[in-house]
Structure 1
C-alpha cells in the first residue's frame, strides 16, 4: 500500500498568484476532422482561459500525389475557406474568452505545425495521441510523438478515450523524482490546480533496491547490502520531506504519495489510474542526464500510455516559458494565414 502524506507545505505568495496568468502566452491546438478534435480544442481553451494566453487552432490538409487541392490556387483557396469555417464553428462552442485565430496549412503535419508554432512564438502545443495519424488504442501517433520530442515548448497530449467515469473530485497529478525540472513542473501544476480549485497530488515512485548478487555472500557482502539499503531509505525520506515542503496548502486535499513495491514507471501509471485526475503534469526530463534523449524514459512511458490529458513541461521558467529554438531545415510548406 503506498504511503500518503499531507500536512506542512508552502503558502501561496501574492507575486506567485499574479504570475499564474502568464504560465503560457500562446496556446496552439492541432485539430483534424476526427471526433477527438472537439476534446482537444476544449482542453486548449481551458488552459488558455486560465492563463490569459493567445489561442490558435490549426488544421493541416495532408499533401500527396493525389492532393490536387493544395496545388491549384483556386482549389486551395476554396479548401482553406471550408476548413477555416469548420475551425471557427468548433471554437464557437468551446467558451473561449479570447478570439481564436484559425490557421489552415497543406503539407507534412509535423513540419507545418512545428514551423507555424515557431513563427507565432507558441509555447504550448495541444495534440491528440494520434493527431493526423491512424487512430491507435496504445501509444502515440507519429506526428504527436515527433512534436513531443522536437518542439522546444511544452506539449499537452489529449487521449482519444479517457478511461473510466469522469472524476468526482477535481485533481491535478504531478509525478516527481526530486529533480529541478520536476520541481519546475510542480510550480505549473500548483498554479493550474489553484485556478481550477483542484486537489494537487504528488506521486513519488521509489526504485526497488534488488538483492546484492545471486550467489553465496559473505559477512562483508551482507554488511554492504545493509548499508546500501539504509542509504537508499535515508535518501527517500529526505526527498519526501522536501516534496512535502514544496506542496502548496491552498486546498486541504493536497498530498504526497510514496509508491513502492513495483517498477517506478508501472507504479506511477497504476497510481495515475487510481487517482482519477483530470490532468497529469510532468517534466520532459528528470534525474536522467542522457543528452541524446529529448524525453526521459518515464515521461515517454506515461505519454505512450496516456489515460488522461498529460501536460509535458519543457523550458519551465515561469514568466519566460517560450518555445525558442530555430526551425529545422525542412522543405517550405504551403501556408495560408486566415
Structure 2
C-alpha cells in the first residue's frame, strides 16, 4: 500500500513461535507461569517451562544422588505447574537443563528464534541498589527474542487475558517497532491499547534565572512538541483503530520521562506494558541493548513489561515511516 492513500490492508499473521517461561527459583514460578500461559493463549502458541539447575560454584560436581534428587523434585514441581488454569489450553512442555542459566536460555532461543521468553525480576530492596540481575541483563543484550519481565510484585495474570496494554512511543521508528506485537496481542485478547507519549521539559543552558524571553521561548518549544506529538498519535490511532481495536492516546508532560511513564502506567490501570528496548536515544549510542527508560521501568514498574529488541538500521527514516504501514507480525517480530 503506497503512502499518501487513505486505504490500507493489514494481513493478520499466524503464530508459529513458542513461549518459554524461564524459572530461576521455585518461589518465582507462581508469578511467572500464569503470565506465560496468558501470553501464549493470546498468541496461539505452545508453552515450555524451563528450569536450569546450576551446580554449586565449586570445581567438583555435586553428589550424584543429591543431584538426582534435585532433578526429580524440580521435574515434579514443573509437572504441577504445566497444567494451565484455563481448561481450553494444553499442558506445557517441561524441560530441565544443567549448566549456566544464560547459556541454556540462549540455547533455547537458538532452537526457537521466533519465540518469546518470560522471566521474573528479582524483588527489589529499597535499602540496596536496584538492579535487574545479570541473567536478565545478559539476555537483553544478546537475545533476538522479545522478553516479558514479570516483577515480583506484579498482579496475577488475568484468566481472561490482558485488558489494557500500554505502549510508550516517542516518535522514533524504534519505539514504534513494539506496535506490531502490541497490535497482535490486543487483537487476539480484545484488549484496549493505550499509546502514550511523554514530552520532557525543554532543556536550556542555565547560568542564572530565566528572563521573559527565555520563558517565552521555552513555552513555545513545549507547545510545538505537544502539537507534533498529538499529530503523530492521531496517525497511529487511525492505523490501529482501522484494525477494529479499541485504542486511546495519551500525551503527558514531565521533567522526567521515566517517572512520568511509571505514573501513567498506574493511572491508566495498565495490566501489561509493551515497549521497545530503545527509542530516540539509539541514535546517540547504538551499543547499549536497552535504554534508560526501559531500564528504569524494569526496576520500578509493578506490571509485566514485554520488551521488544531493537535492531539498529542506519536508514532509520525508512523504518515504520508511515503509521499506516503497520502489519500484524507472524509472531513477535518487530
> TM class by shorter-chain length?
0.7 to 0.9
| 8 Å Cα contact 2:83-2:92 kept in structure 1 | no
1:233 equivalenced with 2:223 (yes/no): yes
Task: Measure, in 1, the Cα distance between the counterparts of 2:258 and 2:38.
Answer: 28
Structure-2 separation of matches of 1:188 and 1:280:
11
1:136 aligned residue (103, 111, 124): 124
1:288 match: secondary structure: helix
In 2, Cα distance between the equivalents of 1:54 and 1:128?
Answer: 19
The Cα of 1:233 is off from its aligned counterpart by 2.8
Tell me, what secondary structure is at the counterpart of 2:195? strand
How many angstroms does 1:160 deviate by? 1.3
Query: What is the aligned counterpart of 1:187 among 180, 187, 191?
Result: 180
Q: Whole-Å Cα distance in 2 between the matches of residues 260 and 254 of structure 1? A: 20
For residues 315 and 124 of structure 1, the distance between their equivalents in structure 2, rounded to whole angstroms, comes to 15
TM-score, scaled to structure 2: 0.77
**1:123 to 2:115 alignment:** yes
Select the residue among 145, 149, 170 that pairs with 2:141.
Answer: 149
Count of aligned pairs between the two proteins: 302
Alpha-carbon distance change, 291 to 163 in structure 1, aligned in 2, over 3 angstroms: same
Compute the displacement of 1:288 (Å).
0.8
Cα distance, 1:70 vs structure 2: 5.6
Provide the residue aligned with 1:256 in structure 2: 249
- The alpha-carbon deviation at position 252 of structure 1 amounts to 8.2
The structural deviation recorded for 1:83 is 2.0
SS of aligned partner of 1:206? strand
Unaligned regions of 5+ residues in structure 1, if any?
Answer: 1-9, 324-338
Question: What SS class does the counterpart of residue 21 from structure 2 fall into?
Answer: strand
- What are the Cα deviations for residues 156-183 of structure 1, in whole angstroms up to 9, with x where unaligned? 001111279x8x9921111111111222
**Aligned partners of 1:69 and 1:75 also within 8 Å:** no
2:330 to 319, 328, 338: 319
Distance 1:322 1:13, change over 3 A: closer
Instruction: Report the secondary structure of 2:307's partner residue.
Output: strand
What's the TM-score once normalised by structure 1's chain length? 0.76
The residue that corresponds to 2:45 in the other structure is: 53
Which sits farther off after the overlay, 246-255 or 301-310? 246-255
Deviation (angstroms), 1:216: 7.2
- State whether residues 113 and 145 of structure 2, in contact with CA within 8 Å, keep that contact through their aligned partners in structure 1: no
Q: Deviations over 1:106-160 (max 9, x none)?
A: 2222222222322343531100002xxxx43454233223323332211100111
Check conservation: 2:124, 2:299, Cα contact below 8 A.
no
Match of 2:289 in 1: 294
Tell me the distance in 2 between the aligned counterparts of 1:107 and 1:30.
14
Mean Cα displacement is larger for which, 210-219 or 31-40? Answer: 210-219
Summarize the Cα distance change of 1:104–1:217 in structure 2 as closer, same or farther, 3 Å threshold.
Answer: closer
Alignment of 1:246 onto 2:236: yes
From the superposition, tell whether residues 189 and 120 of structure 1 become closer, same or farther in structure 2 (CA, over 3 Å). Answer: closer
| Aligned 8 A contact 1:279 1:309 in 2 | yes
